[in-house]
Amino acid sequence: MSGELANPAGVLARRGVEQRSGKGTAAVRRLATGGLVDRTRPLEFEFDGRRYTGLAGDTLASALLANDVRLVGRSFKYHRPRGIFSAGCDEPNALVELRTGARTEPNTRATTVELYDRLTASSQNRWPSLDFDVLSVNRFAAPLLGAGFYYKTFMWPASFWEKVYEPLIRRAAGLGRASGQSDPDAYEKSHAFCDLLVIGAGPAGLMAALTAARAGARVILADEGFRMGGSLLSDNPVIGDRPGSDWAAQAIAELKSFPDVTLMARTTVFGVYDGGTYGAVERVADHLPSPPPFLPRQRLWHIVAKRTVLAAGATERPIVFGGNDRPGVMLAGAVRTYANRYAVAAGADVAVFANNDSAWRAARDLVRAGVAVRTMIDVRDTVDPALLAPLKDAGVRILLGSRVVGTSGKRLHGIEVLTGGHRSSIAADTLAVSGGWSPNVNLTCHLGNRPAWNEDIAAFVPDKLPPGMAVAGAANGRFGLADCFAGGASAAVAALEELGIAATAPALLRAEDEPYRIGAFWHVAESRGPAFVDQQNDVTVKDIGIAHREGFRAVEHLKRYTTLGMATDQGKTSNMIGLAIMAELTGKGIPQTGTTIFRAPYTPVTIGAFAGHHRGKEFRPTRLTPTQGWAERQGAVFIETGAWLRAQYYPKPGESDWQETVNREVRTVRSGVGFCDVSTLGKIDIQGPDAGILLDRVYINTWSTLGVGKARYGVMLREDGMVMDDGTTSRLGPCHFIMTTTTANAAKVYQHLEFCLQVLWPELDVQLASVSEQWAQLSVAGPKARETLARIVDPGFDLSNEAFPFMSAAGLTVIGGVQARLFRISFSGELAYEIAVPAGQGERLAEALMTAGAEFGITPYGTEALGVMRIEKGHAAGSELNGLTTAQDLGLGRMMSKKKDFIGRMMSQRPGLTDPKRPALVGLRPVDRSARLRAGAHFIPVGADAIAANDQGHMTSTAYSPSLGHSIGLGLLSCGPSRIGERVRAVDPVRGADTEVEICNPVFIDPQGDKLRV
Partner 1 sequence: MFDKLLEPGRHGLVDGRAGVLVRPVEGLAIATVTAGAKRIAAVADTLESRFGIKPPARPACRERDGVSLVGTGPGRWLVLASGQESAGFEAGLCCALDGLGAVTDQSDALLVLELAGPDVGRTLAKGVTLDLHASVFPTGSAAVTVVNHIGVTLWQTDDAPTYRLAVPRSYAGSFMDWLAGSAAEFGLETLS
Q: State the residues that interact with partner 1 by CB under 8 A.
A: 186, 188-193, 218, 260, 293-295, 302, 304, 613, 618, 620-626, 629, 644, 685, 687-688, 735, 762, 765-769, 771-776, 819, 838-841
H or E stretch including 112? none
Q: How far apart are CA 369 and CA 922, in angstroms?
A: 89
Around Cβ 467, how many Cβ atoms within 10 Å?
11
Residue (48 or 685) nearer to partner 1, CB:
685
Residue (37 or 501) nearer to partner 1, CB:
501
Residue (398 or 639) nearer to partner 1, CB:
639
Could you say which DSSP state residue 320 is in?
B
Residue (510 or 613) nearer to partner 1, CB:
613
Residue (628 or 668) nearer to partner 1, CB:
628
Q: How far apart are CA 612 and CA 24, in angstroms?
A: 38
**Bridge-partner residues for 280, per DSSP?**
269, 301
Residue (8 or 840) nearer to partner 1, CB:
840
Q: Least separation, in Å, of the C-beta of 795 and partner 1?
A: 18
Q: Least separation, in Å, of the C-beta of 666 and partner 1?
A: 27
Q: Are 722 and 885 in contact (CB under 8 A)?
A: yes
The type of residue at 258 is: F
Q: At what angle do helices 555-562 and 575-586 cross, to 10 degrees?
A: 120
Q: Least separation, in Å, of the C-beta of 192 and partner 1?
A: 7
Q: Least separation, in Å, of the C-beta of 796 and partner 1?
A: 17
Q: Least separation, in Å, of the C-beta of 623 and partner 1?
A: 4
Residue (240 or 629) nearer to partner 1, CB:
629
Task: Show contacts of 504-510: CB within 8 Å, 24+ apart.
Answer: 504/211, 504/214, 504/215, 505/211, 506/207, 506/210, 506/211, 506/214, 508/482, 509/239, 509/240, 509/247, 509/482, 509/485, 510/239, 510/240
- Nearest 5 degrees, angle CA 788-CA 792-CA 794? 135
Q: Are 167 and 175 in contact (CB under 8 A)?
A: no
Q: Least separation, in Å, of the C-beta of 840 and partner 1?
A: 5
Q: Least separation, in Å, of the C-beta of 621 and partner 1?
A: 4
- Give a three-class secondary structure readout of 859-927: EECCHHHHHHHHHHCCCCCCCCCCCCCCCCCCCCHHHCCCCCCCCCHHHHCCHHHHCCCCEEEEEEEEC
3-state secondary structure at position 767? strand
Q: Least separation, in Å, of the C-beta of 14 and partner 1?
A: 42
The half-sphere exposure of 181 on its side-chain side, counting CA atoms within 13 A, is 10
Closest CA to 324 of 407, 260, 393, 261: 407
Residue (192 or 600) nearer to partner 1, CB:
192
Residue (127 or 761) nearer to partner 1, CB:
761
Peptide bond into 653 cis (omega under 30): no
Q: How far apart are CA 729 and CA 684, in angstroms?
A: 9
Q: Least separation, in Å, of the C-beta of 821 and partner 1?
A: 11
Residue (192 or 850) nearer to partner 1, CB:
192
Around Cβ 482, how many Cβ atoms within 10 Å?
18
**Bridge-partner residues for 197, per DSSP?**
220, 308
The string over 374-402, giving b where at least 16 C-beta atoms fall within 10 Å of a residue's C-beta and e elsewhere, is bbbbbbbeebeeebbebbeebebebbeeb
Q: Least separation, in Å, of the C-beta of 600 and partner 1?
A: 19
Residues 6+ apart with CB under 8 A from 175: 76, 95, 106, 107, 124, 125, 567, 568
Q: How far apart are CA 496 and CA 214, in angstroms?
A: 11
Q: Least separation, in Å, of the C-beta of 307 and partner 1?
A: 15
Measured in residues, the chain has a length of 1014
Residue (128 or 689) nearer to partner 1, CB:
689
Q: Least separation, in Å, of the C-beta of 492 and partner 1?
A: 19
Residue (311 or 501) nearer to partner 1, CB:
501
